[in-house]
Amino acid sequence: MKSLFSLACIALFLAAPPSPALAGGDGMALLKSECSACHNLTGPAPTTLAELWARKGPDLFYAGNKYRPEWLEQWLQNPRRIRPAGMFYGNHIKPGPEHDLIDKSTLKPHPRLGPADARAVTAALMTLKAKSELIRPGEYKPGRISIAMGDLMFDKFRGCLACHEIEPGYGGLSGPEVYTVARRLQADYLISYMRNPQAWDPRIFMPNKHLKERDLQKFVHYFRALSEEDAP
């Protein structure tokens, strides 16, 4: 009986004409209809705390300067959490017995796209290139650093581990995980963002740690090494 019912459901679903939004092809139209409720596609970034708290998803109006397209296309088909405590962590925590805890019930799974839509949306996102003046193309010069040295810099010397996980389940929870960041984001963006997070996002709660240019490069080497280690 139950399986008859689900068969009927599947039949109905298959019979229903695909909604124009899901037909694929026009990525920009999809972005506007399916994504703009949570993502800002035009800018500017929040300049008040009220706006920062109300932001539902990361700003996408400079997506073409931020993401690696290969990653985008994959993630949109198979999204998994990047920020353990959501967008504004203050909206997703509760007091716990020893310390505050993430309130998982407030975090929702991300919408998922089919392959054709993911490709179309990725192409559209890569055309959104606000804030190009903050990017110096080719600024990152590939190099290597041992994970042990990178850990030391990220943890002991600079205190970044307080807010970022360097492997699943280890590190801080208010910022995005960094063990996947080199796979997700462009190297020149990483340098620019670490140099001055507020230039991208004026009220963001990542501090400007006034890193030396040399260290900016080393952190990207480190993220690349972490991503290789974490590679699926």
Partner 1 sequence: MNRQLLWAGMMVLAAWASATPGLVQAAERAEDLYKTYCWQCHGMQGDGNGINVRDMPVQPRDHTDPREMAARSDEELFTAIKKGGQAINKSVLMPPWDGVLSDEEIHALVRYLRRLCQCRHGG
Q: Which residues bind partner 1 (CB under 8 A)?
A: 44, 47-49, 52-53, 85, 88-90, 93, 95, 98-102, 156-159, 161-163, 170-174, 196-199, 202-205, 207-210
Q: Is 163 in the site for ligand HEC (CB under 6 A)?
A: yes
Of 64 and 176, which CB lies nearer to ligand HEC in the complex structure? 176
Instruction: Work out whether 209 is an interface residue with ligand HEC (CB under 6 A).
Output: yes
Is 32 among the residues that bind ligand HEC (CB under 6 A)? no
Question: For residue 94, what is the DSSP state?
Answer: E
CB of 164 closer than 8 Å to CB of 49: no
CB of 29 within 8 A of CB of 121?
Answer: no
Count of residues near ligand HEC by CB under 6 A:
39
Identify which of residues 14 and 32 has a Cβ nearer to ligand HEC in the complex: 32
DSSP letter string, 178-220: STTHHHHB-HHHHHHHHH-HHHHSTT-SS------HHHHHHHH
Closest CB to partner 1 among residues 121, 128: 128
Closest to partner 1 by CB, 24 vs 57, is: 57
How far apart (Å, rounded) are the C-alpha atoms in residues 25 and 181?
Answer: 28
Whether cis (ω within 30° of 0) applies to the bond prior to 44 is yes
Is residue 3 classed exposed, middle or buried when 0-12, 13-18 and 19+ CB atoms within 10 A define those classes?
A: exposed
Residue of the chain from 90, 202, 205, 227 that contacts ligand HEC (CB under 6 A): 205
Contacting positions for ligand HEC (CB under 6 A): 31, 34-35, 37-39, 56-58, 72, 76, 81-83, 87, 110-111, 113, 121, 158-160, 162-164, 174-176, 181, 190, 193-194, 204-207, 209, 211, 219
